[in-house]
Structure 1
Amino acid sequence: MPQVNNTNLHIQVYSHGFKFPTGMSFLGPDDILIIEKNTGKVKEIKNGTVSGTVLDVNVANISERGLLGIAVSDKPKYVFLYYTETEGVDGGKVLGNRLYRYEYDNGKLINPKLLLDLPTIPGPSHNGGVLKIGPDKQSVYLVIGNLNYAQNETFITKTQNKKNGPPPDGRGGVLRITFDGGVVDKKGILGNEDPLNKYYSYGIRNSFGIGFDPLTGNLWDSENGRSTDDEINLVLPGFNSGWREIIGLSNMTPGFNRENLEDFGGKGVYRDPEFVWRDTVAPTSILFFDSDNLGTNYKDTLFVGSVKNGTIFNFELDKTRTHLVLSGPLQDKVAETNNETGGIIFGNNFGVITDLETGPDDNLYVLSNYKHEGTIFKLIPSNKNN
């Protein structure tokens, strides 16, 4: 079973019995939608029990393709889904990495509207997929990786810091659009050409986690290195994460030169990560926990899920909310080995963690592929265990 380091907390199995879930969103108290990567199914969970399938879409499911992202807006009540769509059947002809908007009606998702149609080649990995509703409650953010095109010069665009490369095509960054699929700002952060005007940030190799700090509205992400240097980043508008020129800290990258980065006429700005794991942990979902239900020491802190050892990390932020509070061997923002991470580990053995959410009840929910079974764990104070 999973374990947490705080003996004042208790772990419950809230729900289980689904296949490789990749995301969850709350429709209301004790009402959750979860998505299954390989089946293309969206399932509804009421009071911890799967009540039915509200949608079944055709998806490619090799490697990291599939049904990959979900977000639910409040007003109006829309359900956004991102998936690698195929023709006719699961595993059929690939049509695109697509973002759709649906409406929820009596146990079904209806009225699909295509908002984004993004590339899938060369693939099949680094499709990203995590969705978040923006702080304005009128926009949706999507992170997408480089689709494995680092090895093929033909596919490397300016948003992957190839200055003489082809124009952006929707890959390698965080995109933001309105609920109708339009641009949030016609001028764009980096430029007004389509799809550059949809980019909020760029230079991202691969990511499975984005989240907003509710106290500042700032976006953060987790990013996955090639074989080392997994990252946590503060993602300000126009943020350049640096790939393919750099991953990890600039002072640890011999020969790195900021002049080699694409900055779109000075509108894009490179910034070093706020934290780096030199040994791969495969970070996934990130969550700013805006609740004191687990104790005041966790309120407004950052949780980060991972694949390796099913570990959940926990970080405090400084007074400016632009840096992490790091001490001891981590003061240099780098965990040289996993032996240095003891002070930031919240829990272990949660399986392949794919999502972290704060529930309407202000408790922490962990979605994972645990021992080959989709499982939602719920963390509560021990004195409220019943």
Structure 2
Amino acid sequence: MRPILAGFISAAALAACGSGSAAAPVAPDVSSDVNVTLTPVVEAEFPWGLAFLPNGDLLFTEKDGGLNYVAGGEGEATQVTGLPPALTEGQGGYFGITLDPDFDSNRLIYVAYAEGTDTDNGTAVIRARLSDDHTSLEDVAEIFRADSRDTAYHFGGRLQFANDGTLFVSLGEGFKYMKDAQDPHITHGSLVRINSDGTIPADNPFADGVDGKPEVYSYGHRNIQGLYYDKSEGTLYETEHGPKGGDEFNIIKPGANYGWPVITYGVNYDGTIITEQTEKEGMEQPLTYWVPSIAPSGLTRLSSDVYPGWKGDFFVGGMNGPAGLELVRLRLEDGKVTERENLFKGEYAIRDVVQAPDGHLYVATKDLDGIFRVDLAE
């Protein structure tokens, strides 16, 4: 398959979204010489998060269907029992999944999900041991619960471990509580950092609880749907949904404010202005952004040589919006995005993207299409 180029942001779009202040850096769209195709490997309904075991077996969540296991990473999936019930209304359900850094010895996994009722819910994280036969979860314990809301939208739900063993959990602002994203005393619209048992790291930016909630690591986010921790750099990257336009790719800094809804490159869904500002002192700018939206979901960085010339590049799923239904390749050099390439344009709404132990990229589609391996085209 030959990647299809997409147009970049227009002057008119910028005028509609901002106040004329300097735009965040953006990169030209390119078309590389690498041709790739999608090979179906697992049937799934509304898959959400993917996690490969060290031996190549696959665990994945389905929004409504819970946790599943696939021996060898391809073929028929079997259900893993033991997850607590999730709120599956709206955007609720089972979300991201990650393995404990010491999975080989303790078999612990972590799953995020929407916990509660229509009128009292929030993103929660459980820790559990995967049984030796991969059929059930044992010793299930809730280690985190975000502040409650009464809306079934914008949950976040991605999980990533850092080199020091702490766990990052991405959250959304509940859509109608967008203003709360500017208050670090509330977890709405924040990224939190906890220890693997749910306790709070002593070096969190608001650990003393004075200027913010102790678990909050960064704030001013809308709905973080992509999260990747680069172990070689010790750096955390994320993608988050804008409203109509203004999706972002960011480097996360402790205690930083990412601006929502005070600054944004997007507008309301009805076209009305949220804010005239695209930048403000004390608020972070994205590495790049999308107008129109792609609804970015899933984020990884390629560390293998499977795809010639792409090692070190980031891959972002696009699952909705006028410019969505794609896998985006981003090249980051000296802290700047220098290339942006749209792969599989218009084919599938991609919810997650990860790298398997064999170096191949795998994607989970947002709807009923299933899970695919990204292969070099002949």
Scaled by the length of structure 1, the TM-score of the pair is 0.78
Q: How does 1:271-350 map to 2 (within 5 A)?
A: 271-295=284-308, 297-308=309-320, 309-318=324-333, 320=334, 322-326=335-339, 344-350=341-347
Alignment partner, residue 189 of structure 1 = 205
Alignment partner, residue 56 of structure 2 = 30
Q: 1:10 to 1:97 in 2, by over 3 A?
A: closer
Alignment partner, residue 124 of structure 2 = 98
Alignment partner, residue 213 of structure 1 = 230
Percent identity for Structure 1 against Structure 2: 22
1:77 maps to which of 96, 102, 107: 107
Q: Does 1:352 align with 2:349?
A: yes
Match for 2:319: what amino acid? V
Conserved? CA contact 2:57–2:70, under 8 Å = yes
Give unpaired runs (5+ residues) of structure 2. 5-32, 267-274
Q: How does 1:167-182 map to 2 (within 5 A)?
A: 168-182=185-199
Deviations 1:193-234 (A, max 9, x none): 197221221100112111123442211111111212111111
Q: How does 1:1-386 map to 2 (within 5 A)?
A: 4=3, 8-16=35-43, 18-39=44-65, 41-47=66-72, 48-55=74-81, 56-75=83-102, 76-86=106-116, 96-105=122-131, 106-107=133-134, 108-136=136-164, 138-150=165-177, 156-157=179-180, 160-161=181-182, 168-184=185-201, 186-193=202-209, 196-248=213-265, 254=276, 258=280, 269-295=282-308, 297-308=309-320, 309-318=324-333, 320=334, 322-326=335-339, 344-369=341-366, 372-382=367-377
Question: How far, CA to CA, are the matches of 2:258 and 2:120 in structure 1?
Answer: 29
Alignment partner, residue 265 of structure 1 = none
Conserved? CA contact 2:177–2:188, under 8 Å = no
Conserved? CA contact 1:3–1:349, under 8 Å = no
Question: How far, CA to CA, are the matches of 2:363 and 2:296 in structure 1?
Answer: 14
Higher strand share: 1
Q: 1:125 to 1:303 in 2, by over 3 A?
A: same
Q: How many residues align?
A: 332
Higher helix share: 1
What is the root-mean-square deviation in Å for CA atoms of aligned residues?
2.6
C-alpha displacement at 1:53, in angstroms?
Answer: 1.0
Question: How far, CA to CA, are the matches of 1:187 and 1:132 in structure 2?
Answer: 18
Give unpaired runs (5+ residues) of structure 1. 260-268, 327-342
Q: 1:374 to 1:139 in 2, by over 3 A?
A: farther
Question: How far, CA to CA, are the matches of 1:133 and 1:212 in structure 2?
Answer: 7
Q: 1:280 to 1:9 in 2, by over 3 A?
A: closer
Q: 1:255 to 1:93 in 2, by over 3 A?
A: closer
C-alpha displacement at 1:347, in angstroms?
Answer: 2.7
Scaled by the length of structure 2, the TM-score of the pair is 0.80
Question: How far, CA to CA, are the matches of 1:247 and 1:191 in structure 2?
Answer: 28
Give the SS at the match of 2:177. Answer: helix
Moved over 6 A (4+): none
Q: 1:302 to 1:255 in 2, by over 3 A?
A: closer
C-alpha displacement at 1:292, in angstroms?
Answer: 1.2
Higher relative contact order (CA 8 A, sep 6+): 2
Conserved? CA contact 1:120–1:147, under 8 Å = no
Conserved? CA contact 2:307–2:376, under 8 Å = yes
Deviations 1:53-110 (A, max 9, x none): 1124311111111111211123143110111124xxxx78855431110111122111
Alignment partner, residue 334 of structure 1 = none
Give the SS at the match of 1:348. Answer: coil
Question: How far, CA to CA, are the matches of 2:241 and 2:87 in structure 1?
Answer: 22
Deviations 1:138-176 (A, max 9, x none): 12111101112336xxxx44xx225xxxx6232211111
